[in-house]
Amino acid sequence: MENGVMIQYFEWNLPSDGKHWKRLKDDAKHLSEIGVSGVWIPPAYKGTSENDVGYGAYDLWDLGEFDQKGTVRTKYGTKQELIEAIEELHKYNINVYLDAVLNHKGGADETENFLAVEVDPEDRTVEISEPFEIEGWTKFTFPGRNDKYSAFKWNHNFFDGVDYDNKTGKIAIYKIVGENKDWDEGVDSELGNYDYLMNADIDFSHPEVREEIIRWGKWVVNELKIDGFRMDAVKHIKDEFIAEFLTQVRATHGEKFYSVGEYWRNDLEKLKEYLDNVGYKTDLFDVGLHFNMYDASKKKQDYDLREIFEHTIVATNPMAAVTFVDNHDSQKGSALESQVESWFIPHSYAIILLSKDGYPCLFYGDYYGVGGEKSPHQWIIDKLLEIRRVYAYGEQINHLDNPNVIAIQRTGRDEWTGCVAVLSNSEEEEEIQIEMGKEKSGEVWQEVTGSEYEDVVIDEDGNAKFKVEPEKISVWIRKS
């Protein structure tokens, strides 16, 4: 879809009322009207409890269908409600991307005794004990599902590590000892080897594991009729497996099946290396752009806005970039907290929604609000979405001459499209002169985000001066 937009349709603090899939279904028409073309839904399978946001994945095959972990539904509702929500979204030609949490499993059914070594949490390649027996939560038997869809049972042979010894009650990082057992390669080099993240860490070198996960991937796409995956925590998962997983799913469901990976590292070279290693089989979230916007929001006028696109995927490999402002991991109170300050939210959404490149992703918390409180930004995001739908076409020209005032210009595809977004972190009112082209001489342009500036007439040389209030944005379009 031209000028498509994705929305992450959840945040950490949603109520655990089992009604989220119903809310999503009811919202489908509205999402279509504001220009959303893809919805990233939260992990939709059984977690460790009915309150689990989904990242404590217990049973991938239970989409809110079986009585397990004290509940039939997930935090978000039942399998049938999810299917109905997806069908409603598809009525409006909105794609649905499921959050695939493949790195680990939580909420095991039983413990086992097995050999392990404790490793240095700051460098997991360094063993700090001899092998000894621990009692770990590694047996997953899924008694509530009774082998429906899959008879596969998990035990310690299918994991690389755990973080808790039930025998001693000690929390540490334990690497499981066994034949061909080690941390997976093809993961991030942070902390020596960043295979281990949490819970029971899945061993993607084990052929039975690979077969089971690929089988699930093909099944869930067919079962829910989803259009893509958001791949969670890919920097902790063997890159070669991610490439194989997506290849196998597409072999069954078609090459257009979409994927975006979460590789949370503010290091463009690492992200480019990852894209290369997986053969560009997935897009990536543009973490560098997020951190640029976060830094800009913190430093205010001390941040050089001319650097906002530096070290980003969207600037270097735009076809692989999913641009975003914030998400559930960066929002306040989360483990990776780096939330963009409120005053810079309009600037940030202007950047991702009015730029030509990248697949922009709205965050539920920015649009609808967090913890039941309404977002103060919905109106400006709605306005920017409208400008994206109607006006943000043509080539992009970035005007980066002033560290405190920049402009993003879209040249348009006819005489009525095109726009100019002016972004300021200055403490004073500013203006920026833009050469619009002599063919536009005499045109009248208006500001549409509520600044109440007078209309601007493009002069005989094709130039115009566009104003912006202190620490605000202004967006200009041709007046009809």
Give the catalytic positions in this structure: 232, 262
Q: Which residue has the tokens 């402002």?
A: 325
Residues 389, 35: contact at Cβ < 8 Å? yes
382 is known to lie in a ligand binding site? no
Taking the C-alpha atoms of residue 34 and residue 360, their distance in angstroms, rounded to an integer, is 13
CA 68 from centre of chain: 28
Taking the C-alpha atoms of residue 294 and residue 292, their distance in angstroms, rounded to an integer, is 5
104 is known to lie in a ligand binding site? no
Residues 308, 406: contact at Cβ < 8 Å? yes
Q: Which amino acid makes up residue 446?
A: Q
401 is known to lie in a ligand binding site? no
Non-local (6+) Cβ contacts of 216 within 8 A are 60, 61, 150
Residues 447, 407: contact at Cβ < 8 Å? no
195 is known to lie in a ligand binding site? yes
184 is known to lie in a ligand binding site? yes
Annotated binding site: 103, 160, 184, 195, 201, 203, 236
Annotated binding site for Ca(2+): 103, 160, 184, 195, 201, 203, 236
